[in-house]
Chain A
Amino acid sequence: MSATTDETMTVVASRELDDYSVCFVGIGMPSTAANLAKKMHAPHAVLIYESGTIGAKPTKPPLSIGDGELAETADSVVSVPEIFSYWLQAGRVDVGFLGAAQLDKFGNINTTVVGNYDNPKVRLPGAGGAPEIAASAKETFLILRQSKRAFVEKIDFRTSVGHGDGPGHRAKLGMRGAGPSVIITDIGVLRPEPETGEFILTALHPGRTIKEAKDATGWDLRISPNLTFTEAPTEHELLNLRLLEGATS
């Protein structure tokens, strides 16, 4: 079995989630990756969706964050004010797992507009739960396909804060969580350099090249001196991913 680029991205992302961690999951690829992790190496991971479902165990990736199956399989279903205050804001979430439309080299993300806010070229859905997830989760994982349109020098709107303007900025803003620790793309993996807070390429997926990564990045992407290759998705991982995704249709 050979994996598509999206499948590789999802499988590599799923490996980031530790067993027993409490993960606040965004819809789409984050949800698929988190559910795959639960099937593979992290059966005790707790998945929280912003619709108020805590400990959801869906058998298929939900189409929306409020699908009935999330409530049916959850340990607890609470109101939206409660999920954001008692559970997220109070610091009970280990990992926020998010997607984005645009991000910059500090992992700040935009899901609001392309172009000018008052006269936008493209109006995107907006913030949703992301600003507070990005602020309050102990760390965040970002997953999105790498392209010059998405990985930009300057995002058009700062919807959610990553490492802000660089080291120390989050602390100055009073944020409790450490911010984004990894960006998983269809080309490889980026992690922040501790001294600068800037995301650099730390791993490539099998068969991908540094040139591809640089060409798909709007800032001058730096390469880790310890660059590695990710392990290709195993048959077992792919089978489980396809079972999960097959269940959606």
Chain B
Amino acid sequence: MSEFLPLSAAIVNSVHDGDCVALEGFTHLIPYAAGHEIIRQQRKNLTLVRMTPDVLYDQMIGAGSASKLIFSWGGNPGVGSLHRFREAIEQGWPRALEIEEHSHAGMAARYVAGASGLPFGVLRGYAGTDLPKHTSTIANIECPFTGEILTAVPALKPDVGIIHAQQADQHGNIGFWGIQGVQKEAVLSASRNIVTVEEIVDKLDSRTSVTIPSWAINSISVVPNGAHPSYAHGYYERDNVFYTDWEKISHDRAHFLEWIDAHIMQTKDFSEHLSMVNTEATQSRHRSETVHA
């Protein structure tokens, strides 16, 4: 049965050094608040799992939370490179980052296998590519019925699955709608899970397309705007300016570390970080208005 907890307590209880942690969200509903809390609590040696590591994982990798990354596409969507991700792989800063690289279809099959209690997933994938030469978790398998050669990938079974949803109801059922990604699979493949939500409601919104019942959820934390700068359909839009600004913030180590310190280490929670972001955005608008005046 799910339990309502402050986010800091949920992370203390569920995320430990060395854990394998999947914070999922496919552009939409990315659990930024939870990722920040993991940085704030200085978890180390995590194996991070995500189909599309973007700015949140750039922050976690740059802050030194991870020793391994299992992924299929790492970039700042529509903007460019992830500088912290690249520097970890290209130069081992702030520490070496082992990578286990897949395609989206392969990662999806791995999550489905994990959520289904199967040892592996099967797909038509990777044939003729260089990925199997570098990724040991890709293997051929012969179909016992047709003899066709297919690809097998092992189940993903993270210690912790973390997602952000629009709503929870009073009973602790959680619901989300819009782009669903692999959030349901991330929760159901993991040994423990944490869900952050925008709000608690009497009855889940009629637009809800995925509901996960209370008894399959471990803990729920209410964090309004907890997916910022990504978006929560029906609540707030993607902060494209932040994604564009991340290019500058993350470009050099010193600037990045300053940002992590000010926005995460020196703030008590996500809402304090959000008010800093708002203040900075207002100041920057004023500056550009002054320049143009």
Contacts and interface: CB of A to CB of B under 8 A. Distances in A.
Contact of B129 (A50, A65, A67, A158): A158
A23 interface: no
Interface residues of A, number: 54
Contacts of A79: 180-182, 184-185
Nearest to A127: B103
Contacts of A173: 127-128
Given A27-B78, A127-B103, A131-B103, A80 B108 contact: yes
Q: Is the interface of B mostly helix, strand, loop or mixed?
A: loop
A120 B72 contact: no
B128 A66 contact: no
A66 B77 contact: yes
A158 B130 CA distance: 5
Contacts of B26: 51-52, 66, 80
B71 interface: yes
Contacts of B68: none
A85 B123 contact: yes
A77 interface: yes
Contacts of B73: 125-129
Interface residues of B, number: 53
Contacts of B205: none
Contacts of A70: 179
Q: Is the interface of A mostly helix, strand, loop or mixed?
A: loop
B27 A81 contact: no
B22 to A, nearest CB: 13
A131 B180 contact: no
Nearest to A130: B103
A52 B180 contact: yes
Contact of A77 (B86, B111, B179): B179
Contacts of A88: 105
Contacts of B157: none
Interface string A43-64: 0000000111100000000111
Interface in B82-120: 85-86, 89-90, 101-105, 108-109, 111-112
Contacts of A164: 128
A161 B128 contact: yes
Most buried by B among A71, A160, A169: A71
Nearest to B181: A80
B179 A51 contact: yes
Most buried by B among A27, A126, A129, A176: A126
B6 interface: no
Give me the 6 closest cross-chain CB pairs, A-B, nearest first. A66-B27, A64-B77, A63-B78, A125-B75, A128-B73, A161-B128
Given A66-B26, A122-B86, 18 more contacts: A52-B26, A64-B77, A65-B27, A66-B179, A68-B178, A71-B28, A77-B178, A84-B104, A85-B105, A126-B101, A127-B103, A128-B52, A128-B72, A129-B103, A129-B104, A132-B105, A135-B128, A158-B128
